[in-house]
Amino acid sequence: MCQSCNDTFQTLTRDGESRRNFLRSGAALAAAPLAASVATQAAAQEGGASLEASEVQAWAAFDTDGSFAPHTIPRRAAGPKDVVVEIMYSSICHSDIHTYKGDWGMPQFPLVPGHEMVGRVVGIGAEVTKFREGDVAGVGTMVDSCGTCANCLADREQNCLNGTTFTYNSEDKISGGVTYGGYSKKIVVKEDFALRIPPGVDLAGFAPLLCAGITTFSPINHWDLQPGQRYGVIGMGGLGHLAVKLAAAKGAEVVVFTTSEDKIADAKAFGAAEAYLWSDEAAMRSQMGSFDLMLSTVPVAYPMQQFLNLLKLDKTLVNVGALFPIEGAHGMMMGFGRQSLAGSMTGGIAETQRVIDFAAHHGVAATYEMITPEQIGEACEKVVNKQARYRYVIDMTQA
């Protein structure tokens, strides 16, 4: 395939017969490399075999030490409103690591993480309207919610009052047991929880939008970041680098605060106007009272008052990284400037579709390094050690 444009036609011109079959299948609308084979589609068309329950290859953590091993998981038979997605690219989010380490409570092992995935639709239930076989779909942080409560009706499925079903390590209300995520070859999901991926995009670079993208996009919508406003991004890893790219695409004046010297140049390449080290006291002083909005993407707790001081009066610092008790905010200092410290986490399905469409329109995608499933454990370690540049994407097409 053509890595730069995902031109399926280039992939398939090597095999004229396959190309004709592909075009006949109607899959030409989805501009993705057809690693999910034509043969799979043909099988699906012949007998709907892909709608049946199946055993699927996955990679699981068996304890908190982060060593991953191959594991087989069940995927349910597709119901009338379900799509079956053959996963092509699945990226590693820091949440996956927090989860297997037990940072948020002991998970249910074996744990198959992964809530940033893109793949090809290889089966559709009888009542599915949003996808056709051969389309490319994404799945993010959740796979089900009640659909009828006030929060679901407000497009806030992540806040479902009857309990959101998250993509992994969550009670599976349909099949029983626990949900398994994207470190696997296939997922069955309600079409309402699958996202459309526009043609022509870098599919591996789009997988991280399903969590990191929406997590950093939602705050700039909610707090209404405007072009020209000063926007501070604290920490530039998987979340932070997408925060920079998305806000720069919106026309904001983005300023990055990092602890890694080599990320200064990267920040500017991603669209930041300025970038500073936290340890640069003179730079920190020069930024006092200058920001319209700030976003903290650092995955651990740290004293935040040093950044609250950088906000203009009445403005907000949104924490999306440290999902832990936060210390180091000073009531008097926040009160003096009437600044707010807020939290935000992922976003609803409609808003997730918005970030995908926005990214496609503006040519934004994650910067990533491709790995094999055998490298998951090692990659997770590098994420913790701040060595990721900037997302690890697991290539399931070769697995």
Distance of CA 33 to CAs 15, 105, 286, Å? 14, 39, 48
Which residue from 8, 11, 50, 95 is in contact with Zn ion, where contact means CB under 5 A?
Answer: 95
Which residue from 44, 84, 139, 160 is in contact with Zn ion, where contact means CB under 5 A?
Answer: 160
Judged by CB under 5 A, how many residues of this single chain contact Zn ion? 9
User: Of 129-148, which residues contact Zn ion (CB under 5 A)?
Assistant: 145-146
3-class secondary-structure state, position 232: strand
Query: End-to-end CA distance of the chain, in Å?
Result: 17
Nearer to Zn ion, 33 or 181 (CB): 181
Nearer to Zn ion, 6 or 158 (CB): 158
Each residue 322-361 as x (binds Zn ion by CB under 5 A) or -, in order, gives: ----------------------------------------
Each residue 178-217 as x (binds Zn ion by CB under 5 A) or -, in order, gives: ---------------------------------x------
Which residue from 73, 93, 243, 388 is in contact with Zn ion, where contact means CB under 5 A?
Answer: 93
Nearer to Zn ion, 116 or 135 (CB): 116
Nearer to Zn ion, 149 or 384 (CB): 149
> Could you say whether residue 388 binds Zn ion (CB under 5 A)?
no
- For residue 50, which of 180, 167, 185 has the smallest C-alpha distance? 185
The Cα–Cα gap between 167 and 158 comes to 11
The Cα–Cα gap between 307 and 394 comes to 34
CB neighbours of residue 253 within 10 Å: 18
The Cα–Cα gap between 295 and 307 comes to 10
Which residue from 28, 69, 77, 149 is in contact with Zn ion, where contact means CB under 5 A?
Answer: 149
Q: Is 282 exposed, middle or buried (0-12, 13-18, 19+ CB in 10 A)?
A: exposed
Name every residue whose Cβ is closer than 8 Å to that of residue 144 and which is 6 or more positions away in sequence. 164, 165, 173, 174, 190, 193
Q: Is 240 exposed, middle or buried (0-12, 13-18, 19+ CB in 10 A)?
A: buried
Each residue 52-91 as x (binds Zn ion by CB under 5 A) or -, in order, gives: ----------------------------------------
Of the candidate spans 93-101, 200-208, 283-291, 389-397, the one that interacts with Zn ion by CB under 5 A turns out to be 93-101
Residues within the interface to Zn ion (CB under 5 A): 93, 95, 145-146, 149, 152, 160, 162, 211
